Amino acid sequence: MAKKVLKFGGTSVGSIDRIVHAAKIVKKEHDRGNEVIVVVSAMAGTTNNLITHSESISKKFNKRELDVLLASGEQVASALIAGALNNLGVKSKSWMNWQIPILTEGEHTNSRIVNMKVKGINDYLSEGGVAVIPGFQGISKSGDITSIGRGGSDATAVAIAKIFDTDSCEIYTDVEGVYSSDPKKIPVAKKINKISYEEMLELSSLGTKVMQPSAVQTAMMYDIPLQVKSTFTEQKGTEITNQDNIDYTKVVTGVAYSKDDAKITLIGVEDKPGVAADIFEPLSKNEINVDMVIQNISADGKKTDLTFTIKRQDKNTAASLLKNNKKIKYETMQMNDKVSKISIVGAGMVATPGITYKMFRSLAEEKINILAISTSEIKVSVIIDEELTIRALKKLHKTFKLD
């Protein structure tokens, strides 16, 4: 007998028929004698509809009330799947975040789980019951409902796997696993059978929407084995595990992209100690995340050009902060929000020379100009014109034999 977490995403519970289908998957695990904790997202489209409702009242809707509003989506899905399980003859009960409780800390709309009380649920499991828990939410020390960010149901599932010391954590979604690239854009993309935590963390941070980055990071920290599976087929999914279990015959595991970036260049910045800190400090205080940074030093050492990328939604705020920043001096500012980020990821890149060259040569063959570059041990990312995204994806996918 094993103790398992089964997490179902929004598309997996997107209709009553799908909720019943998910309940049947849970029943199979329960019938095998396993103790099962189910974590659910809101039904597909629910969270966006609730956000639309809040914005129709105010674009600056109170964050505390927004958390209360958005948490209702997962609570509805929890009750429905528990009801479906009971209807199938499986003893089941939904537990709201405050009933467990799931304790969180941090700001509204962006809190994090710090602990949970396990006794009540463990007792229920030992009695043969299936516990259903809403993802994405918790309760603060002051008793307020809090949410843990979009995609937070993954983080809930992994946190439960850690705190309840389960044997596995299975993520059910509408795809059969993690792919070498977006199969909707690259039809020849193939499913990856095994991927390391590090590779998955890079891919999820770069825009792959299979799993939330913080959930992957938690799994990596505590060596929690993850499985990404399809709710709608019985095909074997993708195992996310530590590097010791990975076959590195393929140097590059996947090609990812994001089309929500903007590039800002400050030309003729006065070059002196602390200038970079002065530029980025107000961005940090306004919770604007800076990704790539490139600095060019002039021949006389007095002026520099500084290029960095941010999320497209933050471009106007960032531009305003830079213009009003009295601590820095520069000649002109350039902004380009028609860019995309293309990245190759693979743990095998560490021990294989020439990967960066092959990537750059492949893009040059397609007449694709690189606007910015960022590298790590297992990732190379470039910024290019947005209209060339698909051409770059196809070329790199072919170059690194991922078809």
> Where is average pLDDT lowest: 3-17, 68-82, 113-127, 210-224?
210-224
Q: In which element (H, E) is residue 320 found?
A: helix 315-323
pLDDT band, very low/low/confident/very high, at 64 (cuts 50, 70, 90): very high
Distance, first Cα to last Cα, the chain: 39
pLDDT score for 347: 83
Going by C-alpha positions, the residue among 382, 354, 379 that lies closest to residue 366 is 382
pLDDT band, very low/low/confident/very high, at 65 (cuts 50, 70, 90): very high
pLDDT score for 89: 98
Q: Is the dihedral of CA 202, 203, 209, 210 positive or negative?
A: negative
Q: In sequence order, what are the residues at sequence separation of 6 or more whose Cβ sits closer than 8 angstroms to the Cβ of residue 282?
A: 321, 322, 325
Comparing 87 with 188, the larger pLDDT belongs to 87
Per DSSP, the three-state class of 99 is coil
Judged against a pLDDT cut of 70, whether residue 49 lies above it is answered with yes
Most confident range, picked from 2-11, 180-189, 257-266, 285-294:
2-11
Going by C-alpha positions, the residue among 94, 40, 48 that lies closest to residue 70 is 48
Q: In which element (H, E) is residue 165 found?
A: none
Q: In what order do the strands lie in the sheet with 379-385?
A: 293-297, 303-311, 254-270, 332-345, 379-385, 372-376
* Tens-digit pLDDT profile for residues 299-316: 666 788 899 999 999 999
**Chain centroid offset of residue 229 CA:** 16
> Where is average pLDDT lowest: 194-208, 236-250, 300-314, 378-392?
236-250
Domains and CATH numbers, the chain: 3-174 (3.40.1160.10), 255-399 (3.30.2130.10)
d(CA 161, CA 159): 5
> Where is average pLDDT lowest: 240-244, 250-254, 393-397, 398-402?
240-244
Number of neighbouring beta carbons within 10 Å of residue 39:
29
Q: In what order do the strands lie in the sheet with 168-173?
A: 92-94, 130-134, 35-40, 3-8, 168-173, 226-230, 238-241, 194-196
- Amino acid (1-letter code) at residue 131: A
Record the pTM: 0.83
pLDDT score for 79: 98
pLDDT score for 207: 64
What is the rounded average pLDDT of the residues 123-146? 97
pLDDT score for 259: 85
Determine the length of the chain: 403
d(CA 70, CA 137): 9
Q: Which residue has tokens 């309940």?
A: 23
d(CA 291, CA 310): 6
* Tens-digit pLDDT profile for residues 337-365: 999 999 999 988 877 888 999 999 999 99
- Amino acid (1-letter code) at residue 394: K
d(CA 244, CA 251): 15
What is the rounded average pLDDT of the residues 123-152? 94
d(CA 158, CA 224): 8
